Structure 1
């Protein structure tokens, strides 16, 4: 038996400007989130993207084809209600940032990490006023608390919509610095994704690709690139 899916019930899809943002109208009625809150987003570009997703639905509604709608719903129904908790969770990545933990061998891997990760840490020192220090090995060593406090303030300053996208940028990459680099469009998202997978790519180069791991990596890549695109549309 196939899973039940709601039918498309509207004929026209359009966007509208409202106080404090932009909404999506289905036959003139505002779209609401699964929790029945009004779905208002911060930019016309993001509203248009969501409207396109609704308009693309045919006889049955398929939520898997509506990633921008899902992320916007999460921002309203979840992040707005738990903003401080989500911000704290993401800010904690600064104390164990992927880019700070380095191999001591082989030399080729060490050089690759230095070449790809050091420039991002240098950028963060300038753009975020946060110089994170590197460590050799995987044993946790705390960063300077004053630096972590500055990064935490930046994370808490993000809106609920920004934080919803930032969640995936940081949690998927394992790096608060990469998350900010994507948000601030310091590097192309594809490039940032590849940089975040340096260690995995190294392992693949040495031992070959694991099919199951490769499939999971593609899922994560799609989510990371979607989050970067969502963030870009917020700021359009």
Structure 2
């Protein structure tokens, strides 16, 4: 048996498909399209071939830091701010109605509105989530009452109109942040709270984890779930960082 056969066949990994780093210096420069990230003095293109540029220097510097931190290969998975920028530049301008509709779909299934059956869990949900629902009614004009169970909750047309109006007022970058935060937390209320600066990204993520944290306390957590939670938290913090940098 050959040494190669003894070693076995190596299956390709995700890293194998990543492009090699081809640049040495990362910089930020002001252009007609905003603050652009440059590699060895040349601008970067998004997947849709648009210039990778941000409306503020601080945001461009956040992206530049991600490009600088790359090793031998370029891994988009560990570049959350750059990926958010791709969404704001490539997707949001041409897909605003669809993105807004997707956010509004969460109104009836919003995490904040659905309560469990365990008395202790419900107590925690009420303590953490009710202030956000109260804020949504006061600040956004959207009354979203809590319900028992997992079936979609009825949402008044006035509430949907208020949420739609607020969403339509956002620019492409804010809309991208809202959509990503909503999907990540499964809560449009938490998404709006993050964009509006009602709470920090850390607080938003913690609020979205009430159910999971309760289950972990009772049943423990496996390594896969822990790793997933860490990834989601990193994504949430990146959204918060982007919003602060705008």
Equivalences for 1:181-192 in 2 at 5 Å?
181-192=193-204
TM-score, normalized by length of structure 2? 0.85
The one of 83, 93, 96 aligned to 2:106: 93
Measure the CA separation in 1 of the matches of 2:219 and 2:154.
Answer: 33
Q: Answer yes or no: is the 8 Å Cα contact 2:177–2:243 preserved in 1.
A: yes
The CA deviation at 1:65 is 3.5
TM-score (norm 1): 0.88
Q: Distance in 2 between matches of 1:214 and 1:65?
A: 17
Q: Is the 1:88–1:156 Cα contact (8 Å) retained in structure 2?
A: no
Structure 1 equivalent of residue 9 of structure 2: none
Q: Is the 8 A contact 1:169 1:228 kept in 2?
A: no
Deviation at 1:177, TM superposition (A): 0.9
Of 208, 231, 238, the residue aligned with 1:226 is 238
1:14 paired with 2:27, answer yes
Matching residue of 1:28: 41
Root mean square deviation, CA, Å: 2.1
Equivalent residue, structure 2, for 1:162: 174
Aligned length: 233
Unaligned runs of 5+ in 1: none
Q: Per the alignment, do residues 221 and 56 of structure 1 end up closer, same or farther by CA in structure 2, a change over 3 Å counting?
A: closer
Aligned to 2:8: none
Of the three residues 157, 167, 173, the one matched with 2:185 is: 173
> Once structures 1 and 2 are overlaid, which stretch shifts more, 72-81 or 124-133?
72-81
Superposition misfits of 4+ residues, deviation over 4 angstroms: none
Cα 1:24–1:136 shift into 2, 3 Å: same
1:42 is the counterpart of 2:62: no
Residue of structure 2 in register with 1:63 after alignment: 76
Which has the higher relative contact order, 1 or 2, with Cα contacts under 8 A spaced 6 or more apart?
Answer: 1
Aligned to 1:78: 91
State the match for 1:194 in structure 2. Answer: 206
Q: Report the Cα offset of residue 7 of structure 1.
A: 4.0
User: What is the Cα deviation at residue 12 of structure 1?
Assistant: 3.6
Out of 229, 235, 238, the residue aligned to residue 217 of structure 1 is 229
Q: What is the alpha-carbon distance in structure 1 between the residues aligned to residue 38 and residue 232 of structure 2? A: 31
TM-aligned CA distance change 1:110 to 1:8, over 3 Å: closer
Counterpart-to-counterpart distance in 1, 2:72 and 2:123: 54
1:150 maps to 162
For the residues of structure 1 that align with 2:45 and 2:223, how far apart are their CA atoms? 40
User: Larger radius of gyration, structure 1 or 2?
Assistant: 2
Q: 1:52 to 1:131 in 2, by over 3 A?
A: same
